[in-house]
Amino acid sequence: MHKSQIIRSLWDSFRDLLPIIVVIGFFQFFVLQQPIPNLGKMAGGIVMVVIGLSLFIRGLEMGLFPLGESMAYAFARKGSVLWLFAFAFALGFGTTVAEPALIAVAAKAAEIAANAGVIENTRPAMDSYAFGLRLTVALSVGFAIVVGVLRILKGWPIQYVIIGGYAGVVVMTFFAPKEIIGIAYDSGGVTTSTITVPLVTALGVGLASSIRGRNPMTDGFGLIAFASLTPMIFVMGYGMLI
């Protein structure tokens, strides 16, 4: 990588970050009318964020994208649908079960359930509730990726599957306990982490471009959409069962 390229990618990352700096600066000076505390530490942090973002994007193009695509091609060449589903499920389940955002949400949900008297207000009861919830969400994401891959193979239009999922969410909302709804709706958004998204996107696009008759634009995207929809349904279901 040339020096000018490095400077360019650092500048790009800085530009990505600029809106946050402007917003925080504006509110701090003009609305709250306070000075910035710890200016030096903040500047250091911003430099780190810029370096981190540049490295991340470089790594994405070198590692994650080609890997996701080459695996998609390999599975398509191998022609075994069963193994492809197994891989899709493992990828969805494995990346979600250890997701830090999900661990935080699950702990919060356990607290809510304990306060509402759904489960005993003790440490072990809450821990097992939170663990059960994590497994539920991870299963739901594994399931979602499998359904998404099946959709790409079959070429189903995405909107029908998603609308079906929405209907599921709406129906579940009427039956689920009121306390779980906010958490359930949020859990859809938190399951897809920064490393999962590029891998899964590359997998979908790679699959769609290696199967004849599929268009990577119409058919390749959509895996993330499934992965953010099923957790809502599964979490509400979990709230009803326990």
> In the range 111-140, which residues lie near other proteins by CB under 8 A?
111-112, 115
Q: Quick check: 60 binds other proteins (CB under 8 A)? A: yes
Asked if 83 interacts with other proteins (CB under 8 A), we say yes
The two structure tokens encoding residue 89: 């499920």
> Are the beta carbons of 223 and 146 closer than 8 angstroms?
no
242 interacts with other proteins by CB under 8 A: no
The answer to whether residues 172 and 236 touch, using CB atoms and an 8 Å cutoff, is: yes
Each residue 162-181 as x (binds other proteins by CB under 8 A) or -, in order, gives xx--x--xx--x----xx-x
Should residue 156 be labelled a site residue for other proteins when binding is judged by CB under 8 A? no
Residue closest to 201 by CA, chosen among 189, 193, 190: 193
Q: What is the dihedral of CA 172, 179, 108, 166, to 10 degrees?
A: 20
> Of 39-58, which residues contact other proteins (CB under 8 A)?
41-58
Question: Residue 182 corresponds to which tokens in the numbers above?
Answer: 């906010």
Answer yes or no whether residue 31 interacts with other proteins by CB under 8 A. yes
Output 68 or 136, the one with its CB closest to other proteins: 68
User: Among residue numbers 61 through 80, which ones bind other proteins (CB under 8 A)?
Assistant: 61-67, 70-71, 74-75, 78, 80
Residues 87 and 219 sit within 8 Å (Cβ to Cβ): no
